């Protein structure tokens, strides 16, 4: 994006509209996702693509061959285009082969968090009705069979008899490729049905926006059951013809060792990872990377500045969702502004709705709807096809987008609107506060009052934190209740689950 800041316009009934950064750019070009990958493999079969500790490097040609063999095994086992396969396993080359083979065959992948317990997996099985599952745990396999005794559970190595290789990479662009379940921080997770074109459009937009090249190498310690690791990290690497070093889990030293040992150029992480990197005496080693990206939860501006000071990295923050993959990014060229997520990616139209300032989006990356949820689908889209993200946004004078609240988390106290992020950012400025979460607490007089939960080092009292924020916030924004906790409840990628805050 040479000029990543599109002109904002206003229109009656819509509020502020930011047109897509790519104009009339066709991000899909009639292709499906795996056909685009296969073209990369054919162009340079010797290029290294995926590395894990158990197998070393796998080349493009080897990945093509291994995924063909796995697809033949799945085909011989009776699975065909449109069938669903639940996948829940730690990051590995075998997992990548299984995932890619499923997509090449036209199967629909249902990624599942490896931390899910029996009831959570049962919900996915009942809702998505997969015909098979790929898991690396006997316990999870047993839970899945309890949910559906006919479900076939396989290991990531797809240890089945070989079969003839069926037609591959033949799914239509609008064919479903993946059902991504929402994080479920409120209510039961819903399955967002994403097509080959949705996934390809987002990966292509990132390839363009982040200058992703075949000689790039990504240290990938994110889980491959989540859109950040899977739809961005893995899919983007394969589309760019680049390479990735897989780590089973995040560890500061492991990440920095992998970056140095493999001559990596990229790292993608979440704020909790960057907090640990910023606190490491080795933080300066991040300087060798050409790009560090943060997402999945807001990156506090003070953490951004600490990273810039200690590592020389101006971390690029972006914004996406399960339903849309990636939407917005700070620019690769130009200022990466802390506390903001930047500008719409190529192909993305973004609107701030009049009145609520909710972020509404439309583009080739946006999913078609939730599985088995006609009620939710009717509410999810406007008549013009814009998706309700549920996030409240604001624009600064230069058009950078900031996310200030979830629409359902907006606190209305005594008739005033209070945005939790503003208060959380102030609390994080106190040296005793590791992290903070703010939410509304029902109150008979005010409707709601502001509550704050602070993960702290124990060196400050709740009363001291209450006095601290008084210097920064209007009286109606100040927390009426401050609770100190050892740790805030989080999901698998470190996002605070406000529904589980102790009340």
The whole-number pLDDT of residue 14 equals 42
Read off the pLDDT of residues 212-237 as tens digits, 9 standing for 90 and up.
Answer: 999 999 999 999 999 999 999 999 99
The whole-number pLDDT of residue 290 equals 97
Helix (H, G, I), strand (E, B) or coil at 382: coil
Q: What band does 415 get if pLDDT is binned at 50, 70 and 90?
A: confident
The whole-number pLDDT of residue 479 equals 95
Tokens of 94: 């075998």
Read off the pLDDT of residues 320-349 as tens digits, 9 standing for 90 and up.
Answer: 999 999 999 999 999 999 999 999 999 999
Closest CA to 76 of 154, 174, 177, 176: 154
- 8 A C-beta contact, residue 163 and residue 75: yes
Fold of 16-402: Rossmann fold (3.40.50)
Mean pLDDT, range 266-272, rounded to an integer: 93
| pTM of this structure | 0.86
Closest CA to 368 of 83, 207, 177, 88: 177
Query: Which residues lie closer than 8 Å to 429 by C-beta, 6 or more apart?
Result: 302, 472
> Look-up: residue for tokens 């010797």?
46
The whole-number pLDDT of residue 15 equals 53
The whole-number pLDDT of residue 13 equals 37
User: What CATH code is assigned to 410-500?
Assistant: 3.30.300.30
Q: Where do the structural domains in the chain lie, given as residue ranges? A: 16-402, 410-500
Residue ranges in 291-330 assigned as alpha helix (H): 301-311
> Look-up: residue for tokens 């609520």?
356
Read off the pLDDT of residues 114-156 as tens digits, 9 standing for 90 and up.
Answer: 988 898 899 999 999 999 999 999 999 999 999 999 999 999 9
The DSSP symbol for 182 reads P
- Give yes or no for residue 475 having a pLDDT over 90: no
The whole-number pLDDT of residue 491 equals 77
- Note the Cα 422 to chain centre separation in Å: 23
Mean pLDDT, range 39-59, rounded to an integer: 97
Q: What band does 276 get if pLDDT is binned at 50, 70 and 90?
A: very high
- Give yes or no for residue 109 having a pLDDT over 60: yes
| Sheet of strand 447-456, all strands in order from the earlier edge strand to the far edge | 433-443, 447-456, 481-485
Across the chain, which distance is largest between two alpha carbons, in Å?
71
Q: What band does 20 get if pLDDT is binned at 50, 70 and 90?
A: low
**If you average pLDDT over each of 91-105, 300-314, 392-406, 473-487, which comes out highest?**
91-105
- 8 A C-beta contact, residue 64 and residue 45: yes
Nearest 5°: phi and psi at 491?
A: -90, -170
Q: What percent of the chain has pLDDT above 70?
A: 94
The whole-number pLDDT of residue 8 equals 52
The whole-number pLDDT of residue 496 equals 86
Q: What band does 473 get if pLDDT is binned at 50, 70 and 90?
A: confident
Rama region for 355: left / alpha / beta (φ>0; ψ in -120 to 50; rest): left
H or E stretch covering 484: strand 481-485
Q: Which stretch of 82-86, 153-157, 183-187, 259-263 has the lowest confidence by average pLDDT?
A: 183-187
The average confidence (pLDDT) of the chain is 91
Tokens of 359: 């972020």
Q: What band does 409 get if pLDDT is binned at 50, 70 and 90?
A: confident
Read off the pLDDT of residues 182-201 as tens digits, 9 standing for 90 and up.
Answer: 864 445 789 999 999 999 99
The whole-number pLDDT of residue 211 equals 97
The whole-number pLDDT of residue 120 equals 86
- 8 A C-beta contact, residue 334 and residue 192: no
CA distance 166 to 69: 10
The whole-number pLDDT of residue 167 equals 95
The whole-number pLDDT of residue 1 equals 30
CA distance 382 to 76: 43
- Give yes or no for residue 404 having a pLDDT over 60: yes
Q: Judging by beta carbons within 10 Å of its beta carbon (0-12, 13-18, 19+), is residue 473 exposed, middle or buried?
A: middle
């Amino acid at each position: 994006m040479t000029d990543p800041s599109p002109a904002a316009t206003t229109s009656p009934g819509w509020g502020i509209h930011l047109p897509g950064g790519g104009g009339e750019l066709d991000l899909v070009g009639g292709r499906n996702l795996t056909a685009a990958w296969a073209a990369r493999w054919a162009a340079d079969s010797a290029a290294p693509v995926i590395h894990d500790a158990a197998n070393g490097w796998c080349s493009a040609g080897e990945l093509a061959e291994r995924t063909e063999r796995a697809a033949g095994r799945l085909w011989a086992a009776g699975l065909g285009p449109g069938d669903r396969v639940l996948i829940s396993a730690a990051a590995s080359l075998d997992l990548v082969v299984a995932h890619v083979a499923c997509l090449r065959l036209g199967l629909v992948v249902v990624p599942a968090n490896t931390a899910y317990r029996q009831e959570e997996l049962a919900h996915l099985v009942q809702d998505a009705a997969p015909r098979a599952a790929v898991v690396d745990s006997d316990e999870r396999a047993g839970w899945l069979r309890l949910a559906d005794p006919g479900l076939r559970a396989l290991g990531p190595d797809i240890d089945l008899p070989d079969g003839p290789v069926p037609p591959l990479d033949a799914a239509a662009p609008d064919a479903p490729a993946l059902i991504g379940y929402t994080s479920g921080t409120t209510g039961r997770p819903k399955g967002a049905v994403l097509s080959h074109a949705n996934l390809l459009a987002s990966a292509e937009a990132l390839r363009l926006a982040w200058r992703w090249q075949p000689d790039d190498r990504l240290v990938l310690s994110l889980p491959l059951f989540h859109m950040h690791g899977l739809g961005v990290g893995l899919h983007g690497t394969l589309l760019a013809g680049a390479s990735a070093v897989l780590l089973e889990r995040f560890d500061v030293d492991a990440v920095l060792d992998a970056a140095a040992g493999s001559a990596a150029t990229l790292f993608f992480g979440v704020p909790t990872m960057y907090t640990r990197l910023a606190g490491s005496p080795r933080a300066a080693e991040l300087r060798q990377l050409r790009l560090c990206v943060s997402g999945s939860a807001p990156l506090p501006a003070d953490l951004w500045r600490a990273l810039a000071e200690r590592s020389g990295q101006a971390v690029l923050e972006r914004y996406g969702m399960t339903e849309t993959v990636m939407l917005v990014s700070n620019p690769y060229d130009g200022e990466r502004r802390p506390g903001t997520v930047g500008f719409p990616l190529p192909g993305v139209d973004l609107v701030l709705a009049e009145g609520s300032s909710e972020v509404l989006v439309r583009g080739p990356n946006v999913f078609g709807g939730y599985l088995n949820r006609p009620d939710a689908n009717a509410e999810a889209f406007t008549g013009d096809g814009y998706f309700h993200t549920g996030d409240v946004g604001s624009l600064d004078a230069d058009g950078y987008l900031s996310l200030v609240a979830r629409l359902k988390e907006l606190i209305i106290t005594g008739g005033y609107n209070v945005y939790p992020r503003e208060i959380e950012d102030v609390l994080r400025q106190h040296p005793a506060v590791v992290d903070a979460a703010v939410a509304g607490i029902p109150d008979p007089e005010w409707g709601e009052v502001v509550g704050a939960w602070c993960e702290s080092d124990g060196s400050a009292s709740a009363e001291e934190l209450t006095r601290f924020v008084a210097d920064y916030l209007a009286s109606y924004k100040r927390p009426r209740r401050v609770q100190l906790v050892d740790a805030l409840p989080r999901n698998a990628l470190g996002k605070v689950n406000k529904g589980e805050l102790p009340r």
